[in-house]
Structures are given as structure tokens and as C-alpha cells.
Amino acid sequence: MDRQGDPNEQGFLGSHDHTHCKAEVALRVIQGRWKLLILRELIQAVRRFSDLHKALPGVSQKVLTAQLRELEADGVLSRTIHPEVPPRVDYALTDLGRELLPVLDGLHAWGERIGSPRTADRTITAPVAGSRPTA
Amino acid sequence: MDRQGDPNEQGFLGSHDHTHCKAEVALRVIQGRWKLLILRELIQAVRRFSDLHKALPGVSQKVLTAQLRELEADGVLSRTIHPEVPPRVDYALTDLGRELLPVLDGLHAWGERIGSPRTADRTITAPVAGSRPTA
DNA sequence: CTGAATCCGACGAGATACTG
DNA sequence: CAGTATCTCGTCGGATTCAG
């Protein structure tokens, strides 16, 4: 019974390419100090630049702009410019961005299982080790 | 029927804390030039340091060691030292590390939907914009 | 209001040499 | 074999200033 399709081809596990896999691509997209926070804001509603700036204490305009542009370039969110005299720009999740949410949720769920990193047990599981090949 | 628990508490979407959420914690763990590749190698089998070094062309010992140590500190993998004369160290996924795999798979699946970033359409969806609040 | 431009410090990661 | 120790460089993010 030869299954020439894909026995255990589940994506990440099945990609035995020695180079970068698609998971890295996805990772790069959400990579950034404020990307996750931005996405989380846009889940709730369409936001203006000033809304995001206020909702994300500590971010500078430069970085916020940069990360928004990257997310836009990656198709995660859309940028709508209202050509009014006081400029107004709306940011909203795209369909692709919405498809990312379940993944982020999985990430969040796993993150909860961590709790406090670098404070775990440290069980070395040391074997008896009696072999000494080269004396 | 009042559910005082959590109406739409789904983790990432439900965490409206203005600070960092658990998804960022998870993200930091898998953050690193070779972390994903390392994990992918360890899915298949327990690996020795030299195995990983050979399987990951381009990585230096320093960085490989560093990222392995971080993953170990985060409880994703275990480090087993065989006190033999030619030193031998085995790296293996922990249960926590294995629980991460489905998440990485989701990440990979989403990454496939990207394809070629920065080459998408660029539809600005410009509104008619007739309002001029401050003339 | 939204954003660009510049300067800066911190960190990640590569190259190389050395060690138990 | 499996690291450690330095050095360097590129990138990321923060602060500030200027502009449409």
C-alpha cells in the first residue's frame, strides 16, 4: 500500500528541507516588538493611527509606522487613507490577518504552559555512563 | 445563564492587557535564527551536538550552543550529558516541546498562504472622502 | 493627525581561535 | 566532541526633530 501522497506531511514536520521552512516566514511576519499588540488591537475594531499610538504605551511613531507598514506589506492588515485636511488613516485586519488569529491563539495557549521560563527544574537525566571508548 | 467565567476568553483575543501577552512569551521562546530548525531536527530523533551542527549548515558552534541552551532553559528540549572521554551530548524534545509542534504546524500552514510577501496587490480602498472638518 | 528623517544604544548572530 | 571566549557587524527599537 504505497501512499505516494503524503504519509505524515503536516507542514512543519514534513518539511525536511535543510533551508528555512514556511514557519519561519510566518514567524518573520509577526516578528517585532509591537506586532502582536497591534494585531490584538485590530481584532476588536478598526483603529486609527492615534488610537494605536495611545493603546500601545511606549511605542514611538517611527516604530509604530514601520511595523504597521510591514504588516501591511505582508497583507495582514490594510491601510485606508482618508484625504481630509486633518489626515486620518484607518488600519484594519485583512482576511489573511484574521486567519492568523487561531495560530496566535495556539501560541498564546502554549505560552501559558510556560509560566516562568528559566526557573524550571533542571533535571539533567544523567545516564550511568560507564563506557569509555578511548580510555 | 450568566457565565461569570470567560465569555470569549480564547487566550490571545481575550487578553486585553495593554502589556505583553503570553503569545509574546511563546514567540520569544522560538525566536532565534536556528530555533525552528533545531526543533524540526529533534522531531525526527534525538540528536547529538555534532548531528545538529551538520544538519544546520551555516550555524556556528557559539550560536548553536546558545540557542540550544535557551531552548533547554525554556523547557523545550533536554540536554543529556554522557560523561565519556570523547564527550557526547544528546538533545531531545521534552513533552512541552512536543506540545509546541501543533502550534508550529499552524504557523507553517499560515506561512504557506503568504507565498511571496511584499508582492501583493496594494489595493488602497480609498474612500470618497468628502468631509472636511477644519476646511 | 500622520508620518518622515536622523542619531543612538542594545542585542542577535557570524567568524575565528582556543580548551577539556 | 562539545563547547567557551572575543571580536565584529547588521538589524531592531527608542528618542527627538521636522513636515504636509
> Using the CA of A63, which nucleotide's C1' is the nearest one?
D13
Q: Which of A17-21, A22-26, B122-126 has the lowest mean pLDDT?
A: B122-126
Please report, in angstroms and rounded to a whole number, the separation of the first and last CA atoms in chain A: 49
CA distance A36 to B11: 13
pLDDT along chain B (135 residues), means of 10: 48 64 94 97 97 96 98 97 94 97 96 70 42 40
SS3 B116: coil
H-helix or E-strand containing A37? helix A35-44
SS3 A24: helix
Residues (13-42, chain B) with CB within 7 Å of strand C atoms: 31-34
Three cell numbers, residue A19? 533551508
The predicted model scores a pTM of 0.82
Across the interface, whether the CB atoms of B99 and A112 are under 8 A apart is answered no
Task: Give the pLDDT of residue B117.
Answer: 60
- Percent of chain A at pLDDT > 70 equals 72
pLDDT tens per residue across span A2-18: 444 444 455 776 666 65
Nearest to A36 by CA among B121, B16, B75, B104: B16
* A72 CB contact with strand C at below 7 Å: no
Average pLDDT over residues A64-71: 98
| CB A59 within 8 Å of CB A81 | no
Distance CA B59 to C1' C19 in A: 20
Residue among A27, A41, A78, A123 with most chain B CBs within 10 A, to mutate = A27
Three cell numbers, residue A101? 488569529
Q: Where are the alpha helices (DSSP H) in B5-93?
A: 22-29, 35-44, 49-55, 61-73
* A37 CB contact with strand C at below 7 Å: no
Task: Give the pLDDT of residue A85.
Answer: 86
Provide the CA B43 distance to its chain's centre, in angstroms. 14
Task: Give the pLDDT of residue B21.
Answer: 85
User: Which residue in A36, A86, A106 is closest to B106 by CB distance?
Assistant: A106
In A4-23, the residues whose Cβ lies within 8 Å of chain B are 10-13, 15-16, 18, 20-23
> What phi and psi values does residue A45 have, to the nearest 5 degrees?
-170, 170
Average pLDDT over residues A80-93: 94
Across the interface, whether the CB atoms of A18 and B57 are under 8 A apart is answered yes
Task: Give the pLDDT of residue B116.
Answer: 59
Q: Is A24 on the interface with B (CB under 8 A)?
A: yes
Distance CA B44 to C1' C8 in A: 45
Task: Give the pLDDT of residue B115.
Answer: 73
Confidence bin at A56 (pLDDT 50/70/90)? very high
Residue among B8, B53, B107, B132 with most chain A CBs within 10 A, to mutate = B107
| CB A26 within 8 Å of CB B114 | yes
* A50 CB contact with strand C at below 7 Å: yes
